[in-house]
Structure 1
């Protein structure tokens, strides 16, 4: 039996929005809706599967899903607030934990809290083709809940996505400029190990902080959403959330596993840590 862990809605949000059409991979995510069948049919979180119970109300393993091969197993009910209560989510999670090789995550606040935060990720659709899964809209990953997001240039240009997410400011790190309904601040940055991004850290980080401190939502974007935007996101967390380089790196990596500042940016982040704290606390060779 594997461990059952509580899971913030943002964790599930990021699992649903990792790049590379991950949802089309058959062993990527097992997302189970443990509510009553009629509730599931009315509306559920996108890609979630309903689960059945036997005549005694015991949860059955989901059909046609090899739970033991899944990288991520997540279950939710209406509004479970703790993994200490005998809720439908917990009862279902215990059954899943008997066969899963990955920890079983229970969404705290359940469907009600998740969909209050991410209304655009609820649906009535039950069946998906591989092609549909590959083409589901991907949203920027969430770094700070309800405040800071990291994404690519395509997402930063999608007006409907930005409206759904209520993004107020876009920090675009690209040689290509862009206009839109939201406030867009373009910083011409090359993804080159020789490019001096360090000199812009202070100005960009303070701009992000000024918007976040007022409750506005900020999207940091670069063409592929991997190197430039992750470097700036890490720099912001180091200055305005007082993280070490190691701590900020781990936080962003947990939200977006394919993020990777280039070697030049990584060295500049090391220098940024020295500037902020007066000492080198992180061995970048271990990152």
Structure 2
């Protein structure tokens, strides 16, 4: 048994919006999203790709026959409003008392997760706040659609990943030009780190910071780091900021890392680890990695991160 842990809404949002050449939702063993609410609630609306879990005659949850949980990387369960694992933030004594009381009548998400964990290699995750909290922030990821064809999942357009909740997002040029995405995420400004001109805010230079650099190890992006940090901080006060490059992998992740180092006070190694959890395929080129190391040295007056280690 692998255990159960909480999944924050932003974590599930980013899991749902991972992509390589196409959405990772099309990968058979990537995500199993389980809805443990009633059939009426599920039929009314549920999260995209979610499967409603059923119960047998004794009331025990039954593993969906269409899913091989042993090979699933992310198994996430939600019910209506569960915050069951909040007890972990309390004192040990209080946590035990609350846990004992709650375990007498555990919520549907927890009861379901306890069954599923017998078959998984990774911990089963319970969505904190359940369907209600998640859809309060990400209403655009709910649906009534039950069956998804593989081609539909491949063609699903992921949203930009969320770096700072409700404020900072990172994506690619297709997402930056998509009107509904800008509306859903309340994007008010762009940082365009590509050679192409921004086409969503073409006549409003105050809403676009354009850094025209090629994705090349020889390109110098570091002179723009201070300007990017100031621009993001000033524009996050009025709404969401989207940082994007052509593919959303190298240049945009470089300037977001620079922002996390400067404005969020993270060392490069911590900023890298954090951003990789938000978007699994970040890959600044080697020249940009060296410039980020120099930026860390400038901000902290010391080189903290060894970029010769594997992974950078």
TM-score computed with the length of structure 1 as normaliser? 0.97
Residue number among 15, 29, 41 corresponding to 1:39 in the alignment: 41
Q: How many residues align?
A: 286
Tell me the SS of whatever aligns to 2:116.
Answer: helix
Aligned 1:275-286 pairs, distance under 5 A? 275-286=298-309
Contact 1:226 1:258 in 2 (8 A): yes
**Structure 1 residue 56: Cα displacement:** 2.2
Contact 1:141 1:149 in 2 (8 A): yes
The range that moved more, 177-186 or 61-70, is 177-186
Residue number among 183, 193, 203 corresponding to 1:163 in the alignment: 183
Look up the match of 2:50.
Answer: 48
Tell me the SS of whatever aligns to 2:84.
Answer: coil
Return the alpha-carbon distance in structure 2 between the equivalents of residues 167 and 98 of structure 1.
Answer: 42
Look up the match of 2:116.
Answer: 96
**Structure 1 residue 63: Cα displacement:** 2.0
Contact 1:147 1:215 in 2 (8 A): no
Aligned-pair RMSD on alpha carbons?
Answer: 1.1
Return the alpha-carbon distance in structure 2 between the equivalents of residues 237 and 201 of structure 1.
Answer: 11
**Structure 1 residue 22: Cα displacement:** 1.0
**Structure 1 residue 95: Cα displacement:** 0.4
Q: Does 1:138 align with 2:158?
A: yes
Deviation string 1:211-248 (CA, Å, 9 cap, x unpaired) is 22x15211100000000000000000111010000010
Moved over 6 A (4+): none
Q: Does 1:273 align with 2:296?
A: yes
Q: Which runs of 5+ in 1 are unaligned?
A: none
Return the alpha-carbon distance in structure 2 between the equivalents of residues 19 and 149 of structure 1.
Answer: 15
Deviation string 1:126-145 (CA, Å, 9 cap, x unpaired) is 00100111111210011111
Return the alpha-carbon distance in structure 2 between the equivalents of residues 141 and 2 of structure 1.
Answer: 27
Tell me the SS of whatever aligns to 1:38.
Answer: helix
Deviation string 1:194-226 (CA, Å, 9 cap, x unpaired) is 1111111000111001122x1521110000000
Residue number among 67, 78, 81 corresponding to 2:80 in the alignment: 78
TM-score computed with the length of structure 2 as normaliser? 0.90
Q: Which runs of 5+ in 2 are unaligned?
A: 86-98
**Structure 1 residue 37: Cα displacement:** 1.1
Return the alpha-carbon distance in structure 1 between the equivalents of residues 291 and 157 of structure 2.
Answer: 33
Return the alpha-carbon distance in structure 2 between the equivalents of residues 217 and 285 of structure 1.
Answer: 34
Look up the match of 2:246.
Answer: 223
Aligned 1:1-287 pairs, distance under 5 A? 1-20=1-20, 21-83=23-85, 84=99, 85=102, 86-181=106-201, 183-212=207-236, 214-286=237-309, 287=312
Return the alpha-carbon distance in structure 1 between the equivalents of residues 65 and 41 of structure 2.
Answer: 19
Contact 2:63 2:116 in 1 (8 A): yes
